[in-house]
Amino acid sequence: MMRRLLSILALAIGLCAAAQSTDSVSVLRPVTSAWTLEWGAAELADTYLTPLVYKGNHYSIAYERSQAMRFDPKRWTMQLDASVSFDYTANRVQNYHMANAMVGLSWGMMRNWRLPWRLRAGIGPQVSVQLGAMYLGRNGNNPASAKGSAAVGPMGFVSWRASVAGIPVTLRYQGSLPSLGAFFSPEYAQLYYQIYLGDRNGLAHCAWWGNRLEYNQLLTADIALGATIVRIGYRGRYISSKVNHLVTHEYSNALVIGLASDWISLSPSKHPENQRTLRAY
C-alpha cells in the first residue's frame, strides 16, 4: 500500500514539474523590419485643379514593421506601415506638369491560420491616415489641392514559404480596403483663401465606398541571404473620390525593392532551451 502511494506521489510530482516546465517556455517574437524603394507609373486627376488627366512617374520610400502579437502570438500578427511618396506627371502634350506628395501611416492586426502546402493566411482590421497635396503650377489662384483622410477597413494576406536552391523564399500577397472614415474636400470653386478667412463649413466628408474608394495591394518575394532578407515585388495603389461635384483619382503601379531583417531582444534571465520563436509570417 505504501509503495503504491509513493508511486502515485511520484507521478503527481512529475506531472507538476512537466506543467511548470511547459508554462516556463517563453515565446520570442522577432520584429521583421523592411525598408523599400518604389519606382513606377502614376496617373493623377483632380477636377478642382484641371479637367485633364496627368501621367508620369511614381517614387516612394516605405517602412514596414511586422511582429506576432503578445497576447496570442500563434494566431495574431500586427503590422505598421509608413510611406512617403511623390508623383511627377505631365499632360498629354507634355507642356504642363502636376506634382503629388503624400505621407501615409497605417496599423493593423490580423488573425492568421496555417494552411496546407506551406500556406498561411490572415485577415483583420486596419486603421490608416494619409496627408498630402497636389500642385499644378499653371493655376494662378489655386495651384494646390490639399488631401487628407482617415479610415478603417479590412486587410488580409496570403503567404507561402519554400526553398529554392537551398535559399529560403517567402512569397506574400497583401491587400487593404479602407471602408469607413472621413476625408477632406473643399466645395466646387471654393478658394483656399476663403477657408483661411473662416469659411470652413462642409470640408470634412464621411468616407465610404460610394464617394471614396481605395485599394492597396502588395506582392513581395523575401529572399533570405543569411541574416539579411532581400525583398522584391510590386505595389499597386488606387484611390478615387467624388464629392461636391469634384472628381479625383490617384493610381500608381510600382516596382518594389529593398532590404529586411529580423531582430529580437533576449532576456538574460531565460535560458535558450526554454524559448520558442514565432515570426510574423
**Secondary structure (DSSP) of 56-107:** EEEEEEEEEEEEE-SS-TTTEEEEEEEEEEEEEEE-TTSS-EEEEEEEEEEE
What SS3 class is residue 269?
Answer: coil
Query: What is the predicted pLDDT for the residue at 4?
Result: 54
CB neighbourhood size of 54 (10 A): 24
Q: Considering the domain boundaries, does residue 268 fall inside one? A: no
Query: What is the predicted pLDDT for the residue at 201?
Result: 86
Query: What is the predicted pLDDT for the residue at 199?
Result: 86
Query: What is the predicted pLDDT for the residue at 173?
Result: 98
* Residue 133 DSSP symbol: E
d(C-alpha 241, C-alpha 189), whole Å: 17
Segments of the chain with pLDDT less than 50: 2, 5-6, 8-24
Q: Considering the domain boundaries, does residue 53 fall inside one? A: yes
Q: Considering the domain boundaries, does residue 13 fall inside one? A: no
Give the domain extent around 104: 27-263
Report which residue type is found at 184. F
Query: What is the predicted pLDDT for the residue at 276?
Result: 62
Q: For the segment 208-264, what is each residue's pLDDT rounded down to a tens digit? A: 999 999 999 999 999 999 888 999 999 999 999 999 999 999 999 999 999 999 877
Can you give the pTM of this predicted structure? 0.83
The domain that holds 95 is classified in CATH as 2.40.128.100
Query: What is the predicted pLDDT for the residue at 35?
Result: 97
d(C-alpha 37, C-alpha 217), whole Å: 16
Q: Considering the domain boundaries, does residue 6 fall inside one? A: no
Q: Considering the domain boundaries, does residue 42 fall inside one? A: yes
Query: What is the predicted pLDDT for the residue at 104?
Result: 97
Total domains in the fold of the chain: 1
Q: Considering the domain boundaries, does residue 277 fall inside one? A: no
Q: Considering the domain boundaries, does residue 16 fall inside one? A: no
Q: Considering the domain boundaries, does residue 9 fall inside one? A: no
